[in-house]
């Protein structure tokens, strides 16, 4: 049996090696390392895949969030509402820009922003909302948009974990990340659409936001050497774009492979009183960036250690939610009580899920999980 990994990037690479090697070597030969042909090609390919008007490639998913927020003309102290139960990049960028992160509760089933909690957290200083499609499951973005429109707020979807997912909006089927005003994503190697290094992108259907974000990502210039505003330097490099052009063609098949791993796990744990398998809301397709169980009356950290002894990796995403991080200790808005978030951080565990898993590996993982839990 192949050793079990959280993600198997090597196995996946070997299946597309000839094509990827050729594309990368072409970039080396062209020496157009910055803004080479593949970058614009990728932006075009991704915008047609997502059905969104503008795709702005950038250096990583954290920059994508930062550039999106920089485009909103916010003032220090303006409030941005976001879940506490997310990867730190989502909330860190808010604070980096001297804005105030306002942490709200998530739905215990979907792990995503709870619209009722969102509505309660809105104040006259609220300017934007950043829902996160955590683990590959979409937040209820139609409901979030309805609330946002009522209060005149901008919605930035953090789509780093859900690229390629479908969202069945009241306006028809869309891709996650394209329903709000702006969507952002990451091409970190382990993401569902991963590069062979860092990468990110921003999407929007709004022409003026697109224009502004493009300028911000390029030192605040539209015309070379004429700087209209303070921006940053955030580019997707050509080698990564060349890899992503190939991997984008396989994204739907990668998602299917992840979903069939999830189906296997679901069947193995179905009906177990101590295990809650991931919820799949009817309004979206779950693309399973992670397969995350919620354990009931189980020593979660004990299971994590037991699996490690069996050479089965598992991860706790995320052990400490944002509102308990030292980084935010001086914010009054971090002194909130988020019992669902706290409850989840003590009970979640993510099992290996990727495009290269086989039944032998899955049988071993599920039997060891059940062995520990059943005692
Ligand atoms: C990975 C991730 C990011 C950041 O992406 P990087 O490319 O690592 O900067 C942001 N938000 C979420 C939810 C993520 O999972």
For residues 29 and 116, membership in a common domain is answered with yes
Position 238 scores a pLDDT of 98
What is the reported pLDDT for 68? 98
pLDDT digits (tens, 9 = 90+) for 64-77: 999 999 999 999 99
Residue range 180-200: mean pLDDT, rounded: 98
Q: What ligand 1 atom has the least distance to the C-alpha of 199?
A: 7
- What CATH number is associated with residue 210? 3.40.640.10
Pocket test for ligand 1, best of 6, 139, 160 (most atoms within 8 A of CB): 160
Q: What is the mean pLDDT of residues 96-125?
A: 98
- Please tell me the distance between residue 325's alpha carbon and the centre of ligand 1 in angstroms: 17
pLDDT at residue 219 above 90?
A: yes
Q: In what order do the strands lie in the sheet with 275-276?
A: 275-276, 291-295, 348-351
- CATH number at 358 reads 3.90.1150.10
Rounded Cα distance, 266 and 291, in Å: 10
Strand 100-104 to 126-129 pairing: unpaired
- The pLDDT mean for the chain works out to 97
**Amino acid 173: pLDDT:** 97
Domain count, the chain: 2
Instruction: Give the confidence band of 215 by pLDDT, cuts at 50, 70, 90.
Output: very high
CA of 266 to the centre of ligand 1 (A): 26
What is residue 176's predicted lDDT score, i.e. its pLDDT? 98
Instruction: Quick: pLDDT tens for 320-339.
Output: 999 999 999 999 999 999 99
Whether residues 115 and 232 fall in one domain: yes
pTM for the complete prediction?
A: 0.98
Owning domain of residue 86? 9-248
Look at residue 1 and tell me whether its pLDDT is greater than 90. no
Residue whose Cα lies nearest atom 14 of ligand 1: it is: 160
Within 6 A (CB) of ligand 1 lie: 60-62, 86-87, 89-90, 132, 158, 160-161, 186, 188, 198, 200
Does residue 2 sit within a domain?
Answer: no
> What per-residue confidence (pLDDT) applies to 362?
98
Q: Residue 305 — pLDDT band, cuts 50, 70, 90?
A: very high
In a domain, residue 1? The reply is no
> How far is the C-alpha of 82 from the C-alpha of 371, rounded, in Å?
38
Judgement on whether residues 117 and 25 belong to the same structural domain of the protein: yes
Ligand 1: atom nearest CA of 188 is 7
Ligand 1 center from residue 89 Cα (angstroms): 6
Interaxial angle between packed helices 61-70 and 88-96, expressed in degrees from 0 to 180 and rounded to the nearest 10: 40
Assess if residue 288 is contained within a domain: yes
81 phi, psi to nearest 5 deg: -90, 130
- Residue 210, pLDDT score: 98
Of 262, 309, 314, 313, which is closest to residue 285 (Cα–Cα)?
Answer: 262
């Amino acid at each position: 049996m192949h050793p079990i990994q959280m993600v198997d990037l090597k196995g996946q690479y070997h299946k597309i090696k000839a094509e990827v090697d050729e594309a990368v070597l072409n970039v080396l030969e062209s020496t157009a390392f910055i803004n080479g042909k593949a970058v614009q090609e990728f932006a075009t390919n991704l915008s047609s895949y997502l059905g969104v008007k503008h795709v702005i490639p950038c250096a990583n998913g954290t920059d994508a969030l930062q550039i999106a927020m920089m485009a909103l003309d916010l003032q220090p102290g303006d409030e941005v509402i976001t879940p506490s139960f997310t990867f730190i990049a989502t909330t860190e960028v808010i604070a980096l820009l001297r804005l105030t992160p306002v942490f709200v509760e998530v739905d215990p089933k979907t792990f995503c922003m709870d619209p009722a909690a969102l509505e309660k957290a809105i104040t006259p200083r609220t300017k934007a909302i950043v829902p996160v499609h955590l683990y590959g499951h979409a937040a209820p973005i139609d409901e979030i948009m309805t609330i946002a429109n009522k209060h005149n707020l901008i919605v930035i979807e953090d789509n780093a974990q859900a690229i390629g997912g479908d969202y069945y909006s009241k306006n028809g089927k869309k891709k996650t990340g394209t329903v709000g005003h702006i969507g952002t994503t990451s091409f970190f190697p382990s993401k569902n659409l991963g590069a062979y290094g860092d990468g990110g992108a921003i999407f929007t259907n709004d022409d003026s936001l697109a224009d502004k974000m493009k300028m911000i990502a390029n030192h605040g210039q539209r015309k070379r050497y004429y700087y209209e505003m303070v921006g940053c330097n955030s580019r997707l490099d050509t080698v990564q774009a060349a890899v992503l052009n190939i991997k984008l063609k396989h994204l739907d098949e990668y998602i299917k492979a992840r979903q069939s791993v999830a189906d296997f796990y679901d069947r193995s744990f179905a009906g177990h009183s101590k295990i809650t398998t991931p919820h799949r809301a009817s309004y979206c397709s779950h693309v399973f960036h992670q397969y995350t169980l919620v354990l009931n009356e189980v020593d979660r950290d004990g299971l994590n250690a037991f699996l490690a002894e069996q050479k089965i990796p598992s991860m706790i995403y995320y052990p400490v939610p944002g509102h308990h991080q030292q980084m935010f200790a001086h914010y009054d808005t971090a002194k909130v009580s988020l019992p669902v978030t706290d409850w989840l951080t003590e009970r979640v565990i993510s099992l290996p899920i990727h495009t290269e898993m086989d039944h032998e590996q899955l049988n071993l993982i599920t039997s060891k999980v059940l062995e520990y839990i059943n005692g």
